[in-house]
Amino acid sequence: VGLTRTAAVADWTSDFDVLDPGYVLDPFGIWDELRTRFPIAHSDRRGSTWLPTRYEDVTAIAHDVEHFSSLQVAVIPFDGTPPSDPVLPYGLPPISSDPPLHTWTRRLLLPWFSHARVGSYEAMTRALCRRLLATFADAGAADAAGHYAQQIPVRVVAHILGVDDALADTFTGWVRDVLEFADDPERRARGVRGLVGYFLAEIARRRIDPGEDLLSMLLHAEVDGAPVEESLVLGTAALVLIAGVDTTWSAIGSSLWHLATHDEDRRRLVAEPGIMAFAVEELLRAYSPVTMARVVTADLEFGGCPMKAGDKVLMNFPAANRDPAVFERPDTVVLDRAVNRHVAFGSGIHRCAGSNLARMELRVALEEWLAAIPEFRLDPAAQVTWAGGQVRGPRELPVVFPVPGARATGTAR
C-alpha cells in the first residue's frame, strides 16, 4: 500500500489505524477483540474518528442520518481539506450528500441500476469475462486480480457511462489514486485532476452530441423544470466510476482468493451451481470490501461514547457482517448460508445504488472463471498483496492452474 503510513498500533481501542499493514491483511481478529472489549474504538490518527464493530451499532448509525451526515464519506481524510472544492462543491452526489439533495440525485441514478436494466448488461459482462479468460487460460498461471477481477467492473461501468473502455486502465489508475492512495496528496490530486478533466471534456462533447448513456441523461435531465447543474453532473458521473470500479473488483478478487485457498468450497461451487446465488451473498458477507465514513453533526453520546461535532465515524460494514450476535459461525464461509442479513451494501438511505450491478458482475465473473478454470490455487512462488482503508481486496492475486488438454506437470493440481 501507500507511502505515508504511520507507526505501529499499540492499543487498537484508542489508537487504531485502518492502514496498518497487519490490519489490511487480516482485520478479522482485531474486530473480534474490539467487538468484545471496546465495541466502538477511537483514534486521533487521522482526525478524531470512531470505529464501531457491532452490527447493531453500525446499522443504527447508518439509519440516523440526522446525527451522522454523509457530507464527508472518505475513510482517509484529504489533509483536512473541507468540502469547499470550487469544481465539486457538492462532492459526489448522492453518496456524499444528505437529504434533500441526496433524494433527487439518487432518484436520477437508480433506474440505470435497476434489476431489469442490469439484466441487459449481463451478456456483455459474460462476453468480457470470456475474452479475458481466453488471454490466459492456456498459460497455467495468471494474476486473478490484475488480469481478471480488475478488468471487469471498469469496462461495464464505462459502457453504462458511455465512455471509451480503451481507457479502462487509466480510469482504474485515477480511482486508485483517489481511494487507495488518498493519504498521498500528490497521487490523490492526480486522480481528481484526471477524473475532473476527463468528465468535463465528455460533458462538453455531449452537450453538442448526446448519446443514450447515463452521462447524456444526467446532462439533459430536468428536475423541477430546471437542468441539473454541471457540477452535480460531474460529481455524479465521477461517483459512478469511483464507486463502481474498486469495490466490485475487490469483491471478485476476494472471492477468487477464497476459492483458491479453500479446495472444498471451490469444488462444491463447481459441482453445485444451484447454490451460486447464496454463495455470492456469503462471499459478499465474509469479504465485504467497502467501508464508508460519516461525520457527526452535533455533540452526542452514542453507545457510551462522547462523540463531538466534526468527528468521523467509520461505517464498518465488513465487521458488522462478522458479528457473532447476528451470524452463526461468522468467520466460516458457508456457501449455502440460508439466513444472511448482511449489510455489505450498507443499510438505510445510502444502500449502494449499484448493488444489483455488483451482484451480477460477481456472479458472472465467478461462473465464467469456474467454467474455464475449475481447479486453481495460489502460486506458492508469488505473493498476494492487499489494499485496505475505504475498500479492501487483493491487488495482486497470482494463481496457478492446470492447462486444459495439457499433461499435468506438477505445477498445479
Q: Could you list the residues that contact other proteins (CB under 8 A)?
A: 59, 107, 110-111, 113-117, 277, 281, 338-343, 345, 347-349, 351, 355-356
Distance of closest approach, residue 341 Cβ to other proteins, in angstroms: 5
Distance of closest approach, residue 351 Cβ to other proteins, in angstroms: 4
Q: How far apart are CA 381 and CA 185, in angstroms?
A: 34
Give the residue with the Cβ less far from other proteins, 177 or 282.
282
Distance of closest approach, residue 295 Cβ to other proteins, in angstroms: 21
Distance of closest approach, residue 244 Cβ to other proteins, in angstroms: 16
Beta-ladder partners of 312: 49, 295
Q: Is the dihedral of CA 112, 115, 120, 125 positive or negative?
A: positive
Hey, how many other C-beta atoms are within 10 angstroms of the C-beta on 277?
12
Distance of closest approach, residue 112 Cβ to other proteins, in angstroms: 9
Q: How far apart are CA 173 and CA 181, in angstroms?
A: 10
And the C-alpha cell for 93? 452526489
Residue 402 contacts residue 375 (beta carbons within 8 Å): yes
Give the residue with the Cβ less far from other proteins, 43 or 356.
356
107 class by beta-carbon count within 10 Å (0-12 exposed, 13-18 middle, 19+ buried) = exposed
- Helical pair 230-261 and 263-271, crossing angle rounded to 10 deg: 100
Counted residue by residue, the chain has a size of 413
Distance of closest approach, residue 299 Cβ to other proteins, in angstroms: 28
Give the residue with the Cβ less far from other proteins, 178 or 218.
218
Residue 213 contacts residue 241 (beta carbons within 8 Å): no
Give the residue with the Cβ less far from other proteins, 163 or 239.
239
Give the residue with the Cβ less far from other proteins, 176 or 350.
350
Give the residue with the Cβ less far from other proteins, 58 or 76.
58
| Span between the terminal Cα atoms of the chain, in Å | 31
